Amino acid sequence: MNLTVEHILLIGSVLLFVSILAGKTGYRFGVPTLLLFLFVGMLFGSDGLGIQFHDMQMAQFLGTVALSVILFTGGMDTRFTDIRPVLRPGIALSTLGVLFTTLFTGLFIWWLSGMSWTNIHFSFIPSLLLAATMSSTDSASVFSILRSQKINLKHNLRPMLELESGSNDPMAYMLTIVLIQFTQAAGMGWGEIAVSFCVQFLVGGVTGYLMGRLATLAMNRLNIDNQAMYPILLLAVLFFTFAITSLLKGNGYLAVYLAGMMVGNHKMAFRRETTTFMDGLTWLFQIVMFLCLGLLVNPHEMLEVAAVATLIGAFMVLIGRPLSIYLSLLPFGKSINHRSRIFISWVGLRGAAPILFAIYPVVAGVEGAQSIFNIVFFIV
């Protein structure tokens, strides 16, 4: 059947409506709302009610746009006064934590691949690639749970966890891209990798700071008659920031997060209206992204990797994440007590970002990429 505009709008509106109802019901029983959106997508997908959606490039595009908006809004909600006391450990978690998680989980996957009783056979670099896609925590999930449940955490744990989840996607993205390049014929030397990391961080940081200040200046100085245009202006700056940073070989995700922080921590005209608009847009993109990813997967394919994915997920939860957290926080000694480290270890929530990053190997044509995608989806 050829889908018309009417069909697409009908299906889209039903998906959104069912997702909102599922989210409302799930919240009462303590089920993560975003996870329910994912299940709704799977329910309506190829193995469910039969909606066929297999366009990985379109999913990557939608996911990139959605994640940019989510990170920007997360940056706007991050207060300098909150994160200043936890800035150093937060950055350590979002960089070293991601690196250690990739290394430990990648080694485990590589070891698992060598076992005769498993049905995966990844060499060392693809094992690291699979681990890298899952190495970041999900900002949407962490923000949603910590804020919706109104948890009163001691020792500045909430701002530390929000800073980690909001800022570790750029590191996971860089590791994923570098390891994909490693698997290609050209490859990269260690010197090139180091330069690439430095350029991405430097360009992303500088561009994000400058564009954030420019956005604040534009919002305050431009005298637009219609105040409804101000949020749209901010949205234009957001997408321009991501695009120009990526074209300059910087990290677009880092740039939009920092730009959001600059906007959120300076005086801005029509802040309340703009914040309401961005919050609504963020929820829309979260729903669309999770629905899209749910439609994309074929659940019957995940059954083939269920056993292995369960072992990998258990390793990440019980060993990989806790060990990475303890090593990342070693330089801070007793300033972060043992109970806090245990709690941080258990807030390693994975969400749409790992699934989005798992699409990159598929689009790049990496060998075994479909297995990587299915394993990541199952674990999330």
State yes or no: pLDDT of 64 exceeds 80.
yes
pLDDT tens-digit readout, 109-125: 999 987 878 888 888 88
What integer is the mean pLDDT of 25-42? Answer: 69
**Per-residue confidence (pLDDT) for residue 148, from 0 to 100:** 63
pLDDT tens-digit readout, 277-322: 888 888 888 788 877 877 777 777 778 888 899 999 999 999 999 9
State yes or no: pLDDT of 184 exceeds 80.
no
**Per-residue confidence (pLDDT) for residue 130, from 0 to 100:** 93
What integer is the mean pLDDT of 168-174? Answer: 87
- The rounded distance, in Å, linking the Cα atoms of 50 and 52 is 6
| Mean pLDDT lowest among 142-146, 210-214, 318-322 | 142-146
| Mean pLDDT lowest among 76-85, 137-146, 317-326 | 137-146
State yes or no: pLDDT of 1 exceeds 60.
no
Domain harbouring 324, CATH code: 1.20.1530.20
Range of the domain at 112: 5-379
- The rounded distance, in Å, linking the Cα atoms of 267 and 320 is 41
Query: What percent of the chain lies above the pLDDT cut of 70?
Result: 90
**Per-residue confidence (pLDDT) for residue 84, from 0 to 100:** 84
pTM of the model: 0.83
Helix 252-264 vs helix 169-183: crossing angle, to nearest 10: 170
State yes or no: pLDDT of 187 exceeds 60.
no
207 or 301, which is more confident? 207
**Per-residue confidence (pLDDT) for residue 319, from 0 to 100:** 94
**Per-residue confidence (pLDDT) for residue 97, from 0 to 100:** 92
What integer is the mean pLDDT of 68-78? Answer: 85
Mean pLDDT score of the chain: 83
The total domain count for the chain is 1
**Residue with tokens 């956005």, as numbered in its chain:** 215
pLDDT tens-digit readout, 257-268: 899 989 888 888
Long-range contact set of residues 126-129: C-beta below 8 Å, sequence gap at least 24 = 126/183, 126/366, 126/367, 126/368, 126/372, 128/102, 128/103, 128/175, 128/179, 129/176, 129/179, 129/180, 129/182, 129/183, 129/361, 129/366, 129/372
- The rounded distance, in Å, linking the Cα atoms of 85 and 196 is 30
**Per-residue confidence (pLDDT) for residue 324, from 0 to 100:** 94
Residue 86 buriedness (CB in 10 A; 0-12 / 13-18 / 19+)? buried
7 falls in which pLDDT band (50, 70, 90)? low
**Per-residue confidence (pLDDT) for residue 240, from 0 to 100:** 94
**Per-residue confidence (pLDDT) for residue 111, from 0 to 100:** 93
